[in-house]
Structure 1
Amino acid sequence: MPLNELSQRAATLNARYRHHSATSVLSHALRDPEAGQLALVSSFGAESVVLLHMVAVAKPDTPVIFIDTQMLFTETLIYQQEVSERLGLRDVRVIRASDKVLETTDPTQTLHRRDTDACCALRKTVPLQGALQGFDGWITGRKRFQGVTRAALDFFEVEEGTNRLKVNPLAHWTRQDIRTYMEENRLPKHPLVAQGYPSIGCQPCTSPVAPGDDPRAGRWPGQEKTECGIHVVDGKMVRKGVNA
């Protein structure tokens, strides 16, 4: 689809749902022909259960893509299974880099020590791009409060370099909105949150943070890196929130 046509679709959807709530935007997007076939990409991280619950209520057969980098915390893998079963998600797709590619590129599983960007591309970005083939767009948990690059984030946008849409139902939510939703719906928290992990990625590249510190301070500690590469704006990687 031509970029100008896709941009017009995004503009039409934003105008249509501009004053809708997050749950309404998500529910309508999953059924609106203008949005097309959508998948939810979820890390099953600290805040992921909010969107997972919304999807389970609105359309439980929505494809949910979970990237198993094969370096995740055991707690994340268990949480993914438990949350999927509890919420009744019917189409959870666990994707991974192929064994052949891993054996060729990272046979000793030490690439993350030498080149974290290359490791993220190998284990997350490339497998995700393959998994998204055939979809017209994907649902993310990005929010405006997560940084200046997201201050004007819309519900619908064009994914850079592709012919897909990104849908951001939680764009206008605050941290308190997230906490309130989880409490009101009695949603299970990721077990590592109580251990000081407000942002949870791969085990070798994630550390607990002190109370009051930036939630992302525990991701790739000691490096300037703050992003795995899944979200790109103007050709540059941008900060994500904890719902990667």
Structure 2
Amino acid sequence: MQHSLQNEHMVARWNRMFQHLNALEVLEHTLGSGKTGRVALVSSFGAESVVLLHLLSRINTHTPVLFIDTQMLFAQTLAYQLEVTKRLGLTNVRTIRATVKDLQQSDPDNRLHDTAPDHCCDLRKTRPLQQALAGFDTWTTGRKRHHNGFRTGLEYFGIDGEGRITVNPLIHWGANELNAYMDRMELPWHPLLRRGYTSIGCAPCTSRTTAGEPARAGRWRGNDKQECGIHFVNGKALRPNRPEATS
């Protein structure tokens, strides 16, 4: 509890002090200040992920990158993860998956996403990530305010449910800025991005978006669901997704 309170005070101070920093400066502070402990970057290797990964590669290619393979991702995402990792020279990408035992017990037919998408996200994303993050004090994400919903009020620094520091260097970046950066730096685009997938998650729960729709409109379309549950605001999960919390 003491460590968590210290982090909360530190995060509040940083958000006041560093509100005018750019994304690279926020990431440099996170990795080099000596006050964030053990740091990992969590990446989906989705539509816009290469921007934050490229910024990371300009500072430290050995930083642990946690890639959550739900085993329901598009084949294009798996290929893209390998391409980006090689292109940027990332040397410490760790693939995180649910255990075979957990999948056989909770989703033996791979259809849980049809009947209980929150439980599916918990099984395949939230629990594996929380286990992987147990060895870290801080984790960095690619969340942005332009994704709307809960994300419009994001700040650079936050706290997760375990008292760890969360860092969001790209909160001010919009779609045009992200696309321009990818082109300027000659970074590879996710193969599905130009086909109308503006936010890319698991194949069964991701669809194309049309002009004028929010970037994340294609995620869990037709469902009263905006988040997978791995992210937090003020220490609380954006959507309760454990079975005991949603029953």
- Structure 1 length normalisation: TM-score? 0.91
Matched, 1:119 2:106: no
Partner of 2:21: 20
CA deviation string 1:16-69 (max 9, x = no partner)? 433221111102211111122111100000000000000111110010000000
- What are the equivalent positions in structure 2 for 1:199-238 lying under 5 Å apart? 199-233=199-233, 235=236, 237=238
Partner of 1:130: 131
Partner of 2:148: 147
Q: How many residues align?
A: 237
Partner of 1:242: none
Q: Distance in 1 between matches of 2:237 and 2:39?
A: 24
Name structure 2 gaps, 5 residues minimum. Answer: 240-247
The amino acid of 1:195's aligned partner reads: R
Please say if residues 144 and 168 of structure 2, whose CA atoms lie closer than 8 Å, have aligned partners that are also in contact: yes
The amino acid of 1:106's aligned partner reads: D
* Identity over aligned pairs, percent: 51
Q: Distance in 1 between matches of 2:232 and 2:25?
A: 26
Superposed structure 1 runs of 4+ greater than 4 Å apart: none
The amino acid of 1:199's aligned partner reads: S
Partner of 2:10: 9
1:198 deviation in Å?
0.8
Please say if residues 158 and 233 of structure 2, whose CA atoms lie closer than 8 Å, have aligned partners that are also in contact: no
Name structure 1 gaps, 5 residues minimum. Answer: 239-244
- The farther-off stretch of 83-92 and 29-38 is 29-38
Partner of 2:189: 189
The amino acid of 2:21's aligned partner reads: H
Please say if residues 122 and 229 of structure 2, whose CA atoms lie closer than 8 Å, have aligned partners that are also in contact: yes
CA deviation string 1:98-129 (max 9, x = no partner)? 00111111111111111000000000000000
Q: Distance in 2 between matches of 1:97 and 1:148?
A: 28
Please say if residues 41 and 139 of structure 2, whose CA atoms lie closer than 8 Å, have aligned partners that are also in contact: yes
The amino acid of 1:55's aligned partner reads: L
Change (3 A) 1:152 1:73: closer
